[in-house]
Amino acid sequence: MTRNSISRYILRSAGEVKRFRILMRVIPIVIAVLIALTSVVYVSSVMYNRYGSYTVTVNKFDNLNYSIALTEYMIEDPDVEGKMIPGKSVARLNSKASERIRDMDGATIPEDVDQINGEHNGENYIAYTYYLVNNGEKTLTYEYNLYIVNTTNGVEKGVRVRLYENGVKTTFARTKTDGSGPEDGTEPFMGDTTIVRKQVSNFGPGEYTRFTIVIWIEGNDDDTTDDIIGGQFKVDMKVNIIGDEKGKPIDFEQKS
């Protein structure tokens, strides 16, 4: 081998060693990035559809005696000290956020999540606070139905739905897939599409109920797997007047 050949061989070998060292530095970085990207899309799901993240409606009758309404906030009555009255009252509220979220630990949701009016979503959860008001002249009984509008890819298996009712919280979830009972710290959904249905009696004129809905994908649930990536999940609530203060049916055709 000539001196020139030896020099070219040494240079080529040095170049290969340099490229090898660069690859050894780059490959771990590439792997780390891929792992990070994988974790970002892990069970990423859409908690909305074209109608919004969450919708609540009430039945509205042309009757001054029995009437309910919704509002996102309460204000102090300027004429009566200490009395709260509803802000803008409507028959329908809609949380319009379009949220693509991924799994999280529900224990990290703020303790005061039900103390903020209106829409106040977190990074990986949906939160909405609103008020149901008796704006009629008589005491009544109402029923609310919290139900699943749409779910795909089995995302409902890992979802948690927490409902605050005047500050009292209940967390709902599907029962465990293995049939061994409810998920830890939860009440089971009442049915395939019904999360909870409840009647409230003796709801007097001027009284209100503060509701907060919180929805997230629980990362500690065994059913929270890659199978639900890209799934959609939407929950709504309907509120109906079903009777007088004792629940006796009302003839709504009779005008006030």
Any residues with CB less than 8 A from the CB of 87 and at least 6 apart, and which?
A: 71, 72, 73, 74, 75
Q: Provide the pLDDT confidence category of residue 49 given band limits of 50, 70 and 90.
A: low
pLDDT value of position 14: 54
pLDDT value of position 255: 45
pLDDT value of position 3: 54
Count CB atoms within 10 A of the CB of residue 38: 10
β-pairing, 54-58 with 68-71? unpaired
Cα distance between residue 26 and residue 34, in whole Å: 12
Q: Provide the pLDDT confidence category of residue 39 given band limits of 50, 70 and 90.
A: very low
pLDDT value of position 192: 93
pLDDT value of position 71: 97
Residue 128 clears pLDDT 70, i.e. is over it: yes
pLDDT value of position 50: 57
Nearest in space to 105 (alpha carbons), one of 220, 245, 224: 220
Question: In Å, how far are 9, 11, 15, 19 from 5, measured between CA atoms?
Answer: 6, 10, 15, 21
Between residues 118 and 60, which one has the greater pLDDT? 118
Three-state secondary structure string covering the chain: CCHHHHHHHHHHHHHHHHHHHHHHHHHHHHHHHHHHHHHHHCCCEECCECCECEEEEECCCCCCCCCEEEECCEEECCCCCCCEEECCCECEEEECCCCEECCECHHHCCCCHHHCCEECCCCCCEEEEEEEEECCCCCEEEEEEEEEEEECCCHHHCEEEEEEECCEEEEEECCCCCCCCCCCCCEECCCCCEEEEEEEEEECCCCEEEEEEEEEEECCCCCCCHHHCCCEEEEEEEEEEEEECCCCCCCCCCCC
Note the pLDDT tens digit of each residue in 230-243: 888 999 999 999 99
* Total residue length of the chain: 256
Mean pLDDT for 56-60 is 88
Residue 163 clears pLDDT 80, i.e. is over it: yes
Q: Among 34-38, 66-70, 176-180, where is mean pLDDT lowest?
A: 34-38
Q: Among 21-35, 130-144, 149-163, 207-221, where is mean pLDDT lowest?
A: 21-35
- Say what the pTM is: 0.79
* Phi/psi at 251 (5° precision): -85, 95
Q: What percent of the chain has pLDDT over 70?
A: 77
Question: In Å, how far are 101, 114, 125, 147, 212 from 105, measured between CA atoms?
Answer: 13, 18, 10, 23, 19
Q: Tokens 């009712």 map to which residue?
A: 165
Q: What percent of the chain has pLDDT over 90?
A: 58
Residue 190 clears pLDDT 80, i.e. is over it: yes
Mean pLDDT for 86-111 is 89
